[in-house]
Amino acid sequence: MSKPLTEKQRRFIQTHHSELASGEMAKRLGVEKNLIDRYLAESVLSGKKKNIFTTILLLLPLAALLLLEALLRVFNYGPNLDLIVVKEKNGQKYCALNPEVGKRYFSTGIAAVPELYEETFAYQKPENGYRIFCLGESTTASFPYELNARFHRLLQDRLTTLFPDKTIEVINVGLSAVNSFTVREFADELVDYQPDLFLLYLGHNEFYGAFGVGSTQSFGKNRTVILFNLWLQKFKIFQLLRNTIAALKGNAERSTATAPTQTLMEQVVGNQYLAFGSADYQKAAQSFRENLTDIIKIAQKNRIGILVSTLTSNLKDQAPFHSLFSAQLPREAKTQWENFFQQGLEWEKQKAYESALAAYREAEKLDAAPAKLHFQMGQCYEALQRYPAALAAYQKARDNDALRFRAAGEFNAIIRQAGRDAKAPIIDMEKVFAENSPHGLTGFELISEHLHPNFDGYFLMAKTFCAAMAENNFIAGAADWNRQLDKSDEEYKHFAAVTEFDLSIGAYKIERLTSHWPFATPVIMNIPMPDEALASKLRQLTTTYSQGNISWNEAHYQLASDFAARKLYDRAEQEYHAVLKIIPENYYPYFKIGDLYLTQEKFALAATWLNLALQRHSRSPYVYAKLATVHFHTRAYEKAVANFTAALNLNKVSNEFSPAEIAWAEYYTAVAHLQLGHKGESLKALDEVIRLQPENAPAQQLRALLQSNATVQLQLTP
């Protein structure tokens, strides 16, 4: 019987088995060859088992994670953070932007997470359809305006006018307080929804928007790490982990939570002050450059058109939020600098602008970094009508503003270069706004506060995007745009149905925003009204709406009633148009416009609008009654009788009329029957009037005349 191998022999075999045959090893060790062969076979088997075991150990955690992810999805853990959700109405599917998608990017310290407007678009793009997605931040979202006043709706008005044979969808995917990281992710996801064109306006939020270098919502400053974290956001496990960490923070989190009265602008700022050209500034600029390049590549790879706009902001009417001295400036030099600066301010107060500039230049020799210096120099140049110098000074003030809510000029240079590199068309919105501003200095004429356009500014944006689309052959070749269908700016503004109430909502939001840090004084945007009573009503409705105590359409209806009471019928009609543009399936605005025309005795127009109302609500007794009144006044008595009868029969089911309104309808029915020679039917209707209103003198007199067979002098007022 063979002796088993010793430990020393086993080590020798393990060391030399790859270079020596088993027979040769047997000779050297003085053992039988079959012992070595058996040992080698057992070693291989043992190694395989070890590898399998190791693999299983490695795969078990992954399998557990996959199982947990599957279970979390099955049980719908957490909110749905998809950008697009599919919904159904009346058996028809449609797509909608998900308001909650912002929760991907805002997890802690935010009292109210920014939400997308729930824009909708067709589940199946029509054959003649053209689909545009507008991508960006709060300016793209059209802050501070809502609904009809948003720039993409103003653009859609133009496109649907110019292409009546196409179904143009302009969908706004702008989200406040995000930056190019979010837009890059949105663009990648929207590829699956058959876009024809991306419109981009972004870049102001690169520092404080979610994942910016100065943001409270941060995963650090490394772009690769940020992109990896954005990828992880797609998994429910990551949401669970994030929520668990937040729960563990518990009381500490609550004790440092942002006050709900703070604006979103205040809540997103972490590292406040960032010097021009600093390391963090350069990181933000580089991330913007790479993200923008990626967005353009995503569009071009998927054969989607793309238009990128440069950025505009308030130059002449927005002082810098914060000024910084150069890092190495000695204390004594700072004191000297402040003395020169204060001298300049004193000269400015006396309107001695050249002397002020001389003092400011002395300060500039000591340190050119503080943004407020260049702003004051800009004001002096503007007062002296040296507008190119004023523009250069204002631009430097913007660039050196250490609280970076306005993008520096370098970001527009990045946008232009990205367009050149990718051969993608660029819209120079900065230039357009300057050309439409007094002396080329962009300010409150087109901007609400520091960077968000006012309504005229958004109107100009829409017009500029539309022109650029034609110039770059989007939708159709430039020569094939239906220019003969185009309207004037005033006609487009009227068609937009943006009323004083819509503008007042924007003014309210701007006043609230600028009443907080970092603004020095609130911006008050006055909305002209015909009289003080209407102005007071507008303020009251705006506040009530903004506090969530009245619906948007009801506020428009109330203003319309007030305008109509003053016989301001055109303005009343615009209030109703505002609502029907948003909810065209709602019969009520059509009904009220028809009633306005009836009041003005414009019977043909009244009939048109009332019939439109009837198409949308065929069982409204009020619509039938008003339509019957139109027919009565146009002497179409058979139609009048038919519609009054329909109104009264429908009211028996819905019970909407008051007794007085029933009596009114019966009286007119009686008169219409009489005009048709239906004396018996007329008497029946008059009997019903008198049953409801025994003291109704006109009805009593008419019945008495009919019963006496006397000649009847019709009285049309019950």
pLDDT tens for each residue of 633-662: 999 999 999 999 999 999 999 999 999 999
| In contact, 141 and 174? CB cutoff 8 Å | yes
Give the percent of the chain with pLDDT over 70. 89
Q: Mean of the pLDDT values across residues 275-301?
A: 96
DSSP 105-160: T--SS-SS-------EEESS--TTEEEEEEEESTTTTTTT--GGGSHHHHHHHHHH
User: Of 584, 635, 579, 640, which Cα lies nearest the Cα of 612?
Assistant: 584
Question: How is residue 133 written in tokens?
Answer: 């997605």
DSSP assignment of 171-233: EEEE-TT--HHHHHHHHHHHGGG--SEEEEE--TTTTTSTT-TTBSS-S-S-HHHHHHHHHHT
pLDDT tens-digit series, residues 319-349: 999 999 999 999 999 999 999 999 999 999 9
pLDDT, residue 271, reads: 72
Tell me: pLDDT of 373 over 50: yes
140 pLDDT higher than 80: yes
pLDDT on residue 33? 72
Residue 266 has pLDDT above 80, yes or no: no
Q: Cα-atom radius of gyration of the chain, to the nearest Å?
A: 37
Indicate the range of 3-17, 24-38, 40-54 predicted with least confidence: 40-54
- Residue percentage of the chain with pLDDT more than 90: 75
Question: What's the confidence (pLDDT) of residue 30?
Answer: 67
Peptide bond preceding 370: is omega within 30 degrees of 0, i.e. cis?
no
How high is the pLDDT of residue 107?
72
How many angstroms separate the CA atoms of 276 and 404, rounded?
A: 9
pLDDT at 39 over 80: no
For range 163-188, the mean pLDDT: 96
pLDDT given at position 620? 96
CA atoms of 551 and 631, how far apart (whole Å): 34
Tell me what percent of the chain is helix, strand and coil, each rounded to the nearest 5: 60, 5, 35
Q: What is the pLDDT of residues 423-452, one digit of tens each?
A: 999 999 999 999 999 999 999 999 999 999
Residue 230: pLDDT band by 50, 70, 90 thresholds?
confident
- The amino acid sitting at 122 is A
Strand partners, 92: 89
Residue 603, both tokens: 């019977």
Q: In this structure, are residues 204 and 414 in contact, taking their beta carbons and an 8 Å threshold? A: no
The answer on pLDDT for 667 being more than 70 is yes
C-alpha span between 589 and 633 (Å, rounded): 22
- Rounded Cα distance, 670 and 674, in Å: 6
CB 2 within 8 A of CB 31: yes
> Which phi and psi angles does 285 have, rounded to 5°?
-65, -40
Confidence of residue 467 (pLDDT cuts 50, 70, 90): very high
H or E segment to which residue 612 belongs: helix 603-616
pLDDT at 642: 97
The closest alpha carbon to 572, from 603, 599, 546, belongs to: 599
**pLDDT top residue among 24 and 182:** 182
Question: What's the pLDDT tens digit per position in 236-255?
Answer: 777 777 767 666 655 444 44
Q: Report the predicted TM-score, pTM, of the whole model to 2 decimal places.
A: 0.87
Asked if pLDDT for residue 62 goes beyond 70, the answer is no
| Residue 398: pLDDT band with limits 50, 70, 90 | very high
Calculated CA dihedral for residues 260, 265, 267, 268, nearest 10 degrees? 150
pLDDT on residue 257: 47
Distance CA 279, CA 652 (A): 76
pLDDT of residue 555: 98
CA atoms of 182 and 159, how far apart (whole Å): 28
Average model confidence (pLDDT) across the chain = 90
Q: Can you list the alpha helix ranges (DSSP code H) found in 437-531?
A: 455-471, 489-496, 500-514
CA separation for the pair 198, 193 (Å, rounded): 12
Beta-strand relationship, 197-201 and 305-309: parallel
Confidence of residue 216 (pLDDT cuts 50, 70, 90): confident
| Domains parsed from the chain with CATH numbers | 7-62 (no CATH), 84-313+441-496 (3.40.50.1110), 500-708 (1.25.40.10)
Q: Tell me: pLDDT of 158 over 80.
A: yes
H or E stretch at 607: helix 603-616
- CA–CA distance, 495 with 399 (Å, rounded to integer): 39
pLDDT band with cut points at 50, 70 and 90 for residue 8: confident
The residue among 646, 669, 655, 658 whose CA lies nearest residue 692 is 658
Within a 13 Å sphere around the CA of 412, how many CA atoms are in the beta-carbon half?
17
The whole-angstrom distance between residue 184's C-alpha and the CA centroid of its chain comes to: 17
Q: Which carries the bigger pLDDT value, residue 67 or residue 642? A: 642
Q: How far apart are CA 83 and CA 174, in angstroms?
A: 12
pLDDT of amino acid 714: 52
Examine the pLDDT at 718 and tell me if it is beyond 50.
Answer: no
- Please enumerate in sequence order all residues whose Cβ is within 8 A of that of 142, keeping only pairs 6 or more positions apart, or say none: 149, 150, 151, 152, 172, 174, 458
Residue 491, pLDDT above cutoff 90 = yes
Across 529-534, average pLDDT: 96
User: What confidence score (pLDDT) does residue 218 get?
Assistant: 74
> What's the average model confidence in pLDDT over 133-139?
98
Residue with tokens 């390049």: 293
Q: Please report which confidence band the pLDDT of residue 318 belongs to, taking 50, 70 and 90 as the band edges.
A: very high
Task: Write the pLDDT tens digit of every residue in 496-517.
Answer: 999 999 999 999 999 999 999 9
User: Sorting pLDDT into bands at 50, 70 and 90, what band is 222?
Assistant: confident
* Over residues 55-71, mean pLDDT: 68
Asked whether residue 256 carries a pLDDT value surpassing 50, the answer given is no
Neighbours of 692 (CB within 10 A): 18
Distance CA 540, CA 108 (A): 34
- Across 378-396, average pLDDT: 98
- What's phi and psi for 268, nearest 5 deg? -90, -10
How confident is the model at residue 9, as a pLDDT?
73
Nearest by Cα to 629 from 718, 707, 705: 718
